[in-house]
Structure 1
Amino acid sequence: MKLTSHAASRTLSATFGPKDWEAFDHLATMVAMVDPEGCCLFVNAVLESVIGLSRRTLTRRTLLEWVREPLTLHEAIQAVAHNEFSTRRFETALRRAVGGNGEPVPVLIIVSQTEHSHTRILVEMIEIEQQTRQDREERAMGQAQITKELIRNLAHEIKNPLGGIRGAAQLLALELPSPELIEYTQVIIHEADRLQTLVDRLLAPHRKPHVVGDVNIHEVCERVRSLTLAQHRRGLQIVRDYDASIPEFRGDREQLIQALLNIVQNAAEALGEHIERGDAAIVLRTRVARQVTIGKQRFRLALELHVQDNGPGVPEGLRERIFYPLVSGREGGSGLGLTLAQTFVQQHQGTIECESEPGRTVFKIVIPLP
């Protein structure tokens, strides 16, 4: 006898306690428990977040309506329910709710038997790009750490002889009789000072103490917004798209202001032609992400801060190297702004990445929340 979704839900509730439900919410993948017809008996927090609807709403509907190939999913559920297979796998796309953010999510669906497969089937959905993204984040964090150590050691090696070069040029200037020759020593002193400034910027993140306090990310955004608009009074619009529910977290407010300011200023400089035409736009968007893995650590909640602009995009040849020190996409740039931003974000256990195409560039900062 086939149970209705409501009856199956009662049976499921009787055999599963609160701790069992909580365990599903701690998974990084999307999980749904369905009856043999595909009606949702339970969905975990990650699936709620991806589709964009509450658990209560989803458990009143069928999982079939959220996948691009509902017939394939239904056949897989039926086959597993009738013990034709213990597991079925296939790739499809998971749709989001109307008004949700983003395109359908490519997923690998795994339909598996449970102890009571005649009433409930386990459906697990893994983002196809999830593992690739985690591998990329780990590589980026490892590369950033190696680069920071290299730059710090190199900066110390440069700093020591710079003082000697500058001092020698000053002494030489006192002994030279010709103004033309003294002018050359001034060139040496000027260039030594310029290199000293560059070295100080390279060493700045390692010298500055990490001052921890309660941080409101929207205060950080508003500070950066006001500073940027003060420099670009016309032609640039900075749009707020904030999630007011984001809690305060422990962090270094000044470091986060500097990190965000570097990214926003970098975007504003890339929007030069759009600013002249008066159609330049930067969007500051904040959201809460759930069950986030950063590096090898798992966090229940995280802040997602997006900085989006409508500029020409990052040149393809620079996208993999954009956070490397001394790599700049514009003439006269130091190539340190994004490197310092990445350093400050990583000091908050976070990550920063860039997605870019002509007309749309997004820098995404992810920082764990309490």
Structure 2
Amino acid sequence: MTTWSAQNLVSNLSVGILVVDESLKVCFANAAAESFFEQSCNQLQGQPLNKILLYSSLETARLQKAIRYRDSFSDGEVQLTFADGRHSLAEITATSIEKEGNSYLLLEIKQIDNLKRISQENQQWAQQQAARDLVRGLAHEIKNPLGGLRGAAQLLEKELADDELREYTGLIIEQSDRLRNLVDRLLGPNQPPRFRWHNLHKVLEKIRTLLSLDDIADIELYRDYDPSIPEVWIDDEKIQQAVLNIARNAVQALKGKGRIDFITRIERQVTIHGKRYPLCARIRIIDNGPGIPEQLKDTLFYPMTTGNQDGTGLGLSIAQTLIDHHRGKIEVDSWPGHTEFTIYLPIDKKEPA
């Protein structure tokens, strides 16, 4: 019979195994954990978790409590930010163990970034389509009686001789127009895109110029462009509007102080709504603000969703619609001190059909 070495088995697991002591210092890491943290076991040993990780949504107190009370728990979605700036999403199971009278915590770490992203993208896509269908239906039901209401007010206004009474009909007409404009904005852009070959960086430079003309106080704007990105088949005005909506949200979140980065790169083999594209332009808009509130993350692109008291909640919904018109997609990653919107746009060698 073959004799199995427990350490060899643990070392060959695809799940990262990390063992920490009562002070949450690393005592052991298998090969998968070394790969996850991008450090060898020797480098990890003796390091406290709060030095390896810049941020974790799994609180230190919960880990210490599990060791103290010999408890076990699982967390299916832990946001981790490493000291070198990388970030990841992981499923973590913590199990209390004992060795030679000392208590330890065994952490099983399974990276779920890709699975979560694909699942989230499919779910958001379905929800956004449902939300748009609902908005279209409501818009139709609102605009028809609204038109009748406005027309009746206009006819009544002609029959009234009293200027004071005509003020009321004028108010009805004015508010009817305001509601109609709101409904039109909810429906999103109604003009079809006018596609041309454009230099993406010229579009982004226009956005930086527009932002710098706004009152952005002490907010710094940085750019890091990839000059190898070829011209892309886009409607430059609509891409400008989409990116500007995202950037202005970042400005509002920073409240007058911080940094916004515009970064472009080429991404290969990108799947967008089930279709594989060999080449895409990737635009990242990053700010170092407080992050997106947890209660808004799942409905961020829905119409009328906003964390800003003075906001309409239409900026991101419109941005999503505009990017959809370009066969692209928007992804979001956010935690305290970092919010990143990533736009993917297919790069074509010829005009797409």
Normalised-by-shorter TM-score class: 0.5 to 0.7
Give SS of 1:331's match. Answer: coil
SS in 2 for 1:210: coil
- After superposing on structure 2, the runs of 4+ consecutive aligned residues of structure 1 that deviate more than 4 Å are 71-76, 103-107
Worse-superposed segment, 217-226 or 88-97? 88-97
Equivalent of 1:240 in 223, 228, 242 = 223
Structure with greater proportional helix content: 1
Would you say the 8 A contact 1:292–1:299 is kept in 2?
yes
The answer to whether 1:161 aligns with 2:110 is no
Q: Please report how far the alpha carbon of residue 187 of structure 1 lies from its aligned counterpart in structure 2 after TM superposition.
A: 2.2
The 1-side partners of 2:233 and 2:157 are apart by: 52
For 2:278, the aligned partner's letter is: R
| 1:182-193 map, 5 Å | 182-193=166-177
Alignment correspondent of 1:294: 272
**Superposed displacement of residue 89, structure 1:** 4.2
Equivalent-residue separation in structure 2 for 1:72 and 1:224 (angstroms): 55
Q: How far has the Cα of 1:165 moved from its partner?
A: 1.1
Residues 104-125 of structure 1: per-residue CA shift (max 9 Å, x gap):
7979xxxxxxxxxxxxxxxxxx
Aligned to 1:112: none
Q: How does 1:1-370 map to 2 (within 5 A)?
A: 76=12, 89-91=14-16, 92-93=32-33, 94=35, 102-103=86-87, 128-205=112-189, 207-232=190-215, 234-272=217-255, 275=256, 279-370=257-348
1:72 Cα deviation from its structure 2 partner = 6.0
**Cα distance in 1 for residues equivalent to 2:319 and 2:282:** 15
1:106/1:177 Cα in 2 relative to 1: closer, same or farther (>3 Å)?
closer
| Structure 1 Cα separation of the partners of residues 249 and 113 of structure 2 | 28
Deviation at 1:323, TM superposition (A): 0.4
- Contact 1:96 / 1:103 at 8 angstroms: preserved in 2? no
1:190 deviates by 1.6
Query: Quick one: distance in 2 between partners of 1:358 and 1:100?
Result: 16
Tell me, what secondary structure is at the counterpart of 1:321? Answer: coil
CA contact (8 A) 1:264 1:307 kept: yes
1:309 offset after TM fit, Å?
1.4
**1:32-88 CA deviation, whole Å, 9 max, x = no partner?**
xxxxxxxxxxxxxxxxxxxxxxxxxxxxxxxxxxxxxxx969964xxxxxxxxxxx7
Q: CA shift at 1:266, angstroms? A: 1.6
Match for 2:251: what amino acid?
A: A
Work out whether residues 188 and 321 of structure 2, in 8 Å CA contact, stay in contact via their aligned partners in 1.
no
Aligned length: 264
Per mean C-alpha deviation after superposition, the further-off stretch among 175-184 and 137-146 is 175-184
Deviations 1:327-361 (A, max 9, x none): 22222322111001001111222211222223221
Letter in 2 for 1:145: Q
Contact 1:229 1:236 in 2 (8 A): no
> Structure 1 residues 196, 104: closer, same or farther in 2, change over 3 A?
closer
Are the aligned partners of 1:303 and 1:369 in contact in 2 as well (CA < 8 Å)? yes
User: What is the CA–CA distance in structure 2 between the aligned matches of 1:72 and 1:186, rounded to whole Å?
Assistant: 82
RMSD across aligned positions (CA)? 2.8
Greater CA deviation, 148-157 or 340-349?
148-157
The residue identity in structure 2 corresponding to 1:154 is: L
Kept in 2, the 8 Å contact 1:134–1:293? The answer is no
SS at match of 2:280: strand
Conserved 8 A contact 2:88-2:113? no
Q: Deviations over 1:18-39 (max 9, x none)?
A: xxxxxxxxxxxxxxxxxxxxxx
Distance of 1:236 and 1:101 partners within structure 2: 21
Note the residue ranges of structure 1 that are not aligned, 5 or more in a row. Answer: 1-70, 77-87, 108-125
In 2 relative to 1, CA 228–179 (structure 1 residues): closer, same or farther, beyond 3 Å?
Answer: same
| Counterpart residue identity of residue 340, structure 1 | I
The separation in 1 between residues aligned to 2:262 and 2:293, in whole angstroms, is 22
Whole-Å Cα distance in 2 between the matches of residues 105 and 164 of structure 1? 53
Judging by fraction of residues, say which structure has more strand. Answer: 2
Distance (whole Å) between structure 2 residues aligned to residue 162 and residue 341 of structure 1 = 27
Distance in 1 separating the partners of 2:287 and 2:173:
40
Q: Distance in 2 between matches of 1:298 and 1:238?
A: 33
**Partner Cα separation in structure 2 for residue 333 and residue 104 of structure 1:** 30
